[in-house]
Amino acid sequence: MNAWAERYVVGSGLDLMTAAPEARWQPLLTALEGLGREELGRRRDEIQRLLFENGVTHGPLTEDAESGRPWQIDPLPLMMAPAQWRELEKGLVQRSRLMKALLADLYGPRRMLNQAVLPADALFANPAFWLPCAPLVGDEESALTLHGVDLTLDADGRWRVLADHLQTPAGMGYALENRIVMARVLPDIYRDAPLKRLAPFLGRRHESLSALSKLNLDHPVIALLAPGHARDGHFEHAYLAHYLNLVLVEGSDLVVRDNRLWMRTLGGLEPIDVLTRRIGDAWCDPLELRGDSLIGVPGLLQAIRAGGVSVTNLPGVGALEHPLIAAHLPILCERLLGESLMIDGVERHWCGSEAGREWALDDFDALHFQRLDGDTAEPRPSALDEAQARALRRAVEAEPERFVASRPVAGATAPFVGADSASLHPAPFNMRCFSQALFDDQAQFSHHEVMPGGLAWRGAPGTALQASQCVRDVWVTAETPQPHVSRLRRSRQPLVVTRDGDDLPSRVADSLFWLGRYGERLDGRTRLLREGFYRLMEQDQEAFRDESLAELLKLLEGEDAATAAGVAPVGSDQQRLLALLREGPEDALPTLVHRMISNGRAVRDYLGDDAWWVFNRMRQEATGLARLDVAGARRATETMVSRLAAFFGLCNETMPHHYGWRFMDIGRFIERTLTTLGLLRFALVDACLVRDPLCEIMLASTDNATAYRRRYRSALHPAAILDLLLFDEGNPRSVGYMCKRLARQIEHLPQPGNTPYRSEETQLLIRARSTLHLADLATLVRVDEDDGARAALAALLDALLTPIAALPRAIELNHFSHAEPPRQLIPMQAP
């Protein structure tokens, strides 16, 4: 026995490790302990770093860049012995069979109600029972193909079900990610362990989704409907979609026409055959379910009824998650399956029955009360003050049929590795398991399969996964070593070579476009700030005021109400410059980083892993911007510039140069053209008094200082600057080059409608390019001496700015077929 286990002190209750020593905890503990405290600490940091870099968060991405925290993974998995697991597996399969039979009955003949096995309140006082879903809108095969079950071990050593997840059984993606990260950080331990692998289960998930397709049997298009990239769980949705080779879509990507489900793409509508969803029942279809849903698809239920699409799990399944149904599962199992329920749930009774009421009132203080019509549980009476507890008791006595009472489970413990990486501590835990339906080659239901593993988290039984601080992998040990399975799925069907063509969802093209725009805007802004910090540091050393810094600050701070009213900005140059790192108008750095990342998250599955890595570093670094001093700020801007270069460089290197990449590139170069035109105006037209230093800033911020010096030594000739930054099509920082590149990219975009006329964006570029080609350089070079020449330059810059500024709108109209948000004919919300 190793030292950790020897020193492990279990409380009075049962402990998973001491109760099931055959689960091979020992070799694992020995291996972990053998790493030594410091090495294990390093490995744990590495785990957290990987999670962070892979963008594993469970929480919505908000304006606050620090939220969306990765969770802590305990390096010690929860170990399940083969025999122990087999029992559990049997129970879980039975539970899935029960849920399937119950669903068919409740949304069908309702025999369980008519035979008084289940009180009618279980449906009619259950807000998750949707009348439009009865009779079952789709077929029974697709109704329930994935089932998540939360379990814990009680103090008597029996497994107990705490909750069923049927609407959006989340967590498989996290389980997989945990496993992959563990395998990378603790390769020796992982490789030697005879544990069951998850990949085969997930591979079969794709097969069973394919089996649900009705119209397209060979190569069905399967999509995963997520609530949106700003919502909870986005990491998992993107990750699973990627792993299972599903199209990740949001409600606004989809439309129902001709009783079929379609995805809006660059090339028009593409059919979707199977939809697996991660939005709750209520939100699936604003026509028949919640009318105020903006994340669902109007007409979806009708399309399912008509057989135009298979949706799984079917809307309506959430009714089975209700506590009143949970309270009756043992008897329902007897009646529907003719078997007794293998895994007990929580002890639970309906106060609407006389026996249940007596039970609940007798032991009032120890129980937990839930209202039938509410999602939220009442706090435990013991957590209430006296008056509140009395009020709850009165409410139960007055209308007992509105309540279900349950006895909280006293959970057994499992060992968790302490923060010191040198000891074990017992704590109660929850575990989520998954079961899926499998189909034979005739697409008929065959049997249920349980994922050999899962997700465990620390917390009293019933603690929500999202609320837990610490999660861990679940290892099901096998008798023999298990083969590694590649994460690339082996298909039964011949591979169809696909290229990202015009089946790119419009929304994705849109997000890539904005990713490019925000990224480039961030780049331009960061470069100017960097110049500001250079100048600030030089000025401090040489003790004179650098006029160009004042001009630069004005440019960066923008025209706000105070400056327009002639109020001088407060604070020293240094304070003003540092303030720009954390605040400012539209273009504050953290805002730009946030917008860029938010667009990036929306297209996570279109970016390469390396690009994503850079992205996560940037996100991490952006959180510290507000706390920097001048030297730190200068370094941070330098880092940011190189991160952005790395990000876009990697995108150029790794993204297929198809439509998605083109839209990103167009976004970048529109933004870069606008920035450059603005800078030229700033340095050569608006602020000619301190022109030379401003020209230096401009050259440096466009990274052209070296090129200029090589060509022209150090003298600043306007003609030379204009040539370098406007006309030289060979210089990637010149407006001429940018327009040429935009024209080439736009030429390759799909043109809807196939008209013989030039599209508006093409015309705009022709205007910009001919303006440039026809410019009278001889006049412009006298910009130093001559007001007329300066006016001519201003006019030229305006003539270039107008078409380029109009370009984004033209592209949006022509390519991103935005669905307007659905509206109701009559708002159907009840008061």
Partner 1 sequence: MRYRVRHMTRYDYAAPVSLCHNEARLALRQLDWQQITGSRIDIVPRPAVRQQRPDFFGNGVTAFSIQKIHHSMTVTAVSEVETLPRPDPPESYRPTREAAVEEARHSPELRQFQLDSPFVARSDALRDFALPSFPPGRALFDAVCDLNRRIFEEFTYAPGFSTLATPIHEVLVERRGVCQDFAHLMIGALRSMGLAARYVSGYLETLPPPGQPRLVGADASHAWVALYLPGWGWLELDPTNGSLPGTRHLVLGWGRDYGDVPPLKGVMNGGSSHQLEVSVDVAPVEEG
Nearest to 270 by CA among 604, 500, 483, 583: 500
If the CB atoms of residues 106 and 175 are measured against partner 1, the closer one turns out to be: 106
Q: Is 831 in the site for partner 1 (CB under 8 A)?
A: yes
| φ and ψ of 274, to 5 deg | -135, 135
Q: Give CA 58 to chain center in angstroms.
A: 8
**8 A C-beta contact, residue 434 and residue 450:** yes
* Residue 339 burial class via C-beta count within 10 angstroms: exposed 0-12, middle 13-18, buried 19 and up: exposed
Minimum separation from the CB atom of position 200 to partner 1 (A): 41
The two tokens of residue 534 are: 């250079």
Q: Is 134 in the site for partner 1 (CB under 8 A)?
A: yes
Minimum separation from the CB atom of position 106 to partner 1 (A): 11
Minimum separation from the CB atom of position 123 to partner 1 (A): 8
| Amino acid (one-letter) located at 568 | A
Among 20, 35, 81, 125, indicate the residue that binds partner 1 (CB under 8 A).
125
The two tokens of residue 162 are: 């705490």
Place of tokens 């030289």: 728
Minimum separation from the CB atom of position 822 to partner 1 (A): 5
Stretch that binds partner 1, among 129-137, 200-208, 211-219, 470-478 (CB under 8 A): 129-137
Among 114, 340, 382, 706, indicate the residue that binds partner 1 (CB under 8 A).
114
Minimum separation from the CB atom of position 269 to partner 1 (A): 11
Q: Give CA 235 to chain center in angstroms.
A: 4
What residues does 681 pair with on adjacent strands? none
Minimum separation from the CB atom of position 110 to partner 1 (A): 6
Ranges within 315-374 binding partner 1 (CB under 8 A)? 373
Minimum separation from the CB atom of position 603 to partner 1 (A): 24
Sheet holding 268-272, edge to edge: 254-257, 260-265, 268-272
Write the CB contacts of 544 (distance below 8 Å, at least 6 apart in sequence).
Answer: none
If the CB atoms of residues 370 and 599 are measured against partner 1, the closer one turns out to be: 370
d(C-alpha 634, C-alpha 632), whole Å = 5
| Amino acid (one-letter) located at 400 | P
If the CB atoms of residues 180 and 314 are measured against partner 1, the closer one turns out to be: 314
Among 18, 259, 353, 762, indicate the residue that binds partner 1 (CB under 8 A).
259
* Residues near partner 1 (CB under 8 A), total: 39
d(C-alpha 357, C-alpha 404), whole Å = 9
Pairing of strands 470-476, 72-73: parallel
- The angle, 0 to 180 degrees and rounded to 10, between the axes of the packed helices 199-211 and 234-244 is 80
Minimum separation from the CB atom of position 823 to partner 1 (A): 6
Stretch that binds partner 1, among 157-165, 249-257, 487-495, 559-567 (CB under 8 A): 249-257
If the CB atoms of residues 316 and 452 are measured against partner 1, the closer one turns out to be: 316
Nearest to 345 by CA among 165, 86, 151, 121: 151
Ranges within 805-824 binding partner 1 (CB under 8 A)? 819-820, 822-824
Stretch that binds partner 1, among 72-80, 206-214, 280-288, 646-654 (CB under 8 A): 280-288
Q: Give CA 34 to chain center in angstroms.
A: 37
d(C-alpha 277, C-alpha 85), whole Å = 29
Minimum separation from the CB atom of position 211 to partner 1 (A): 26
| φ and ψ of 484, to 5 deg | -75, 140
Q: Is 827 in the site for partner 1 (CB under 8 A)?
A: yes
Among 288, 671, 696, 761, indicate the residue that binds partner 1 (CB under 8 A).
288
Minimum separation from the CB atom of position 825 to partner 1 (A): 4
d(C-alpha 103, C-alpha 795), whole Å = 71
Q: Is 113 in the site for partner 1 (CB under 8 A)?
A: yes
Stretch that binds partner 1, among 110-118, 475-483, 557-565, 593-601 (CB under 8 A): 110-118
Among 256, 275, 651, 722, indicate the residue that binds partner 1 (CB under 8 A).
256
Q: Is 299 in the site for partner 1 (CB under 8 A)?
A: yes
d(C-alpha 400, C-alpha 394), whole Å = 9
Provide the binding-site residues for partner 1, judged by CB under 8 A: 110, 113-114, 116, 120-121, 123-125, 131-132, 134, 255-259, 286-288, 291, 298-299, 302, 305-306, 373, 819-820, 822-831
